[in-house]
Structure 1
Amino acid sequence: MRTPEHSIDSFKFVLDQIVGDLKGVFVGTHDVLAVLGAYYAARKMYGAVSTVAEAVYVHLLGRASNMDWVTNYGPWAVVTGSSEGIGRAYANELALRGLNIVLMSRNERRLARAKAEIEMDCKVRVEYIVADFASDNQTDLYKTIEAALADKEVGLLVNNVGVMYDFPDVLLNISQQKLWQLIHVNIGAATMMTHMLLSAMVDRGKGGVVVVSSGSSTQMTPQMTVYSATKRYLDYFIHSLAYEYRNSGITFQCLIPFYTATRMTGYSERLSKGGWIVPDAARYASSAVETLGRSQCTTGYFPHTLQLWIGQAVPNWLWMWGSEKLNNSLRQEALARLARRASRYGSQEILSDNSRTP
């Protein structure tokens, strides 16, 4: 017969067993969580170190300038939106590396001036095609361009032409005409020019396609909504093409510049002054061209890469809040400049097409 003392001992034994088992579970769980935490921290550290190392490689360890560009890509480069701004400066950098250049823009006077200057400085052949990528007749536009390029071995296409708002603003203040320009120029031009010229590059097993996107495409950007969305398209477009044609020998690159002092930012005195953070077109292009072949997606300019890291690190709500504050300020500055200009000339003069890469 069991005594009460025996019952108490048995209960205590069972309780000790349960407590011991639970301690083992908690200790095991603690160990697993510690391992997972260490793995997560290691992954984060590895990602940060890799990002910095890639930036150093892309921006600081020059290699592209020692390359034979004609052999690697081909004798001709086509640069859209190249009568001035980033396109004009990028064309000049390619000409310095021995490539013949086809300039494309809607303004023939500026094209002729750019042609003469590049030929004088670089001793290469330069031709131009007058092309308004916002044309109502898109079919005839690209037929004309294709016929003009038919006799050239185009090894490098730089899709630079672009349209921006006159200044940052909300959607309903943007005209339908401007919205169609954004679609035809920012999306249509890069798509159709690439479709036109990529086939011959694939047949030769060499060539390059560059698209110029925008830092505003990093995250959703209020008051540049349609512009940033069209530039995001270019990012998706070039990355998908790079995968589709990964074994073709073609180099693909998406450039993501942040603010650069060009005519497109002419609505703001602050942005037009330029500087280290906001470079002029020549400084940006001389940096960006060196990254070709080293990075499929880059800002092209190290200070802009620092801005990109910040943009990728902050949550989307904070990016949108900050973007709205900045764009409100830029819009007010643009409107004040327009008011002063209207007062000076006695008319409601608007910005003279500053919003478009020519």
Structure 2
Amino acid sequence: MDSMELFFISLGTAVVIYYGVKLLLFSRMLFPKLWFPLSKSFFTSMGEWAVVTGASEGIGRAYAFALAELGMNVVIMSRTKETLDQVAKEIGETTGRTAKVIVADFTKENIFSDIEDQLKDLNIGVLVNNVGILPTYIPSKFLEFADLDKAIRNVINCNVKTVAKMCKIILPDMTKRGKGLIVNVSSGIASVPFPLYTLYAASKVFVERFSQGLQAEYKDKGIIIQAVAPFGVSTRMAGFQKTNKVTLSPEDFVKNSLQYVRAGDKTYGSICHIVQGWVLQSVPLRVLYSEHVLQGLQDFVKKTQRTSDSASRAAVENGSRSRT
């Protein structure tokens, strides 16, 4: 056997082993309860309280309810007090747990000292950094935003700064106690450079890299830090799309994602979104970046937004009639 033949045999063997390992790692995601088991007391063992940002609706609200159902008291944070109070009431009535409300507009400056004061002395075991905003609901090129400076400021404050600041507030006590869980919600579209969502996707790349770096720094302290990157979830941000095999309800997504908290420093949160991530990363960028694809994306979101707006108006009108 000559050296060239030996080289190709060795190369082929390495490729087979590489993809075999990848297939094994992927197969683990099909059975999270088997590969990443959690005890019934896993979450409550982290601490008495969970803190969830952006908890007035959607994914954040679902995380707050799920953690309360698992036995934790929850601090729910958003900018709308009336909605938060209603969520807190429902959590108390349905789970028997305590829900503390903190009103905060994360697009603003200089809000974190007050938040830190209100969280002081709480035994916080779980932090879910969920709050985030799109600069615009309709996908747009960077220079086409109506107020670009405001869009930049709001996205950075809400999607980037908040994640770092909330970790700064809560992580120190977790390290002292040697346990804790931090879930930072990213987005599936951050898997590749994504035109028309450039600013939003870039902010979510920060969430992922920040989470992965923190996990490397604090894993030996007993802390679990994970980025969760969902694709389609039926929320206001996604135009309340109808749920199906790939677009999950917030409750179903959160239920699935909590099964993966021991699965590594990044997860897509559900098997259908894991497959979507693989597909997106396999699509040649020249296809994704074609004018036909981008225009189709804009048209789809506009149609979805019109449907969502019509449904919202109908709900308001029906509510008005019922009150009269």
What does residue 17 of structure 1 align with? none
Match of 2:50 among 70, 77, 94: 77
Who is 2:181 aligned against?
208
Residues 219, 95 of structure 1: alpha-carbon distance in 2 compared, 3 angstrom cutoff: same
Cα distance per residue 1:120-161 (max 9 Å; x no partner): 1111111110000011xx22x101101111121111110000
Shift of 1:60: 6.6
**Counterparts of 2:231 and 2:72, CA distance in 1:** 27
Aligned-residue RMSD, C-alpha = 2.3
* TM-score between the two structures when normalised by the length of structure 2: 0.88
Do residues 168 (structure 1) and 139 (structure 2) align? yes
Distance 2:308 2:274 in 1: 33
The answer as to 2:295 corresponding to 1:295 is no
- The amino acid of 1:229's aligned partner reads A
Correspondence list, 1:18-167, <5 A = 27-52=2-27, 54-58=28-32, 63-64=37-38, 66-71=40-45, 73-135=46-108, 138-139=109-110, 141-164=111-134, 165-167=136-138
Does the CA contact (< 8 Å) of 2:230 and 2:269 recur in 1? Answer: yes
Gaps of 5+ in 2: 314-324
Q: Is the 8 A contact 1:77 1:102 kept in 2?
A: yes
- Cα separation, 1, equivalents of 2:129 and 2:261: 14
SS of 1:317's equivalent? helix
Q: Residues 231, 326 of structure 1: CA spacing in aligned structure 2 closer, same or farther, 3 A cutoff? A: farther
Counterpart for residue 10 of structure 1: none
The TM-score, its normalising length taken from structure 1, stands at: 0.80
3-state DSSP of counterpart to 1:184 = helix
- Post-superposition shift, 1:337? 6.2
- Per-residue displacement from partner, 1:327-350 (whole Å, max 9, x unpaired)? 222344268669999xx9xxxxxx
Residue 280 (structure 1) aligned with residue 254 (structure 2) = no
Select 1:314's aligned residue among 277, 283, 292.
283
Instruction: Specify whether residues 131 and 340 from structure 1 end up closer, same or farther in structure 2 by C-alpha distance, changes over 3 A only.
Output: closer
Counterparts in 2 of 1:202 and 1:327: CA distance versus 1, 3 Å: same
Q: CA deviation at 1:308?
A: 1.1
Structure 2 residue corresponding to 1:180, chosen from 145, 153, 160: 153
In 1, are the aligned partners of 2:43 and 2:125 still within 8 Å (CA)?
no
Structure showing greater Rg: 1
Distance in structure 2 (CA, Å) of the matches to 1:118 and 1:166: 29
For 1:239, the equivalent position in structure 2 comes to 212
Shift of 1:39: 2.0
| SS of residue in 1 equivalent to 2:289 | helix
Q: Distance in 1 between matches of 2:132 and 2:246?
A: 21
- Report the residue type matching 1:32 in the other structure: F
- Which of 1 and 2 has higher RCO (CA within 8 Å, sep 6+)? 1
CA 236–68 in structure 1, closer or farther in 2 if over 3 Å, else same: closer
Matched letter for residue 142 of structure 1: F
Q: Deviations over 1:284-308 (max 9, x none)?
A: 1111122222332111111111101
**1:187-208 deviation digits (Å, cap 9, x = unpaired):** 0111100011100110111111
CA distance in 2, matches of 1:190, 1:323: 32
CA distance in 2 between partners of 1:74 and 1:279 (Å): 29
One-letter amino acid of the structure 1 residue matched with residue 283 of structure 2: V
1:313 partner amino acid: S
Cα deviation, residue 234, structure 1: 0.4
**Aligned pair in 2 of structure 1 residues 307, 325: CA closer, same or farther (>3 Å)?**
farther
Q: Give the Cα–Cα distance (whole angstroms) in 2 for the partners of residues 121 and 340 of structure 1.
A: 31
Deviation at 1:323, TM superposition (A): 5.9
CA gap 1:254/1:157 in 2 versus in 1, 3 angstroms: same
Range that drifts further, 227-236 or 151-160: 151-160
Given candidates 219, 222, 228, the residue that maps to 1:255 is 228
Q: Distance in 2 between matches of 1:249 and 1:340?
A: 48
| More displaced stretch, 75-84 vs 324-333 | 324-333
Q: Deviations over 1:64-94 (max 9, x none)?
A: 36334222x1000000000110000011000
8 Å CA contact retained: 1:212, 1:255: yes
CA distance in structure 2 between the partners assigned to 1:326 and 1:278 by the alignment: 18
Contact 2:138–2:302 (Cα < 8 Å) also in 1: no
Letter of the 1:291 partner, please give it: Y
Count of matched residue pairs? 308
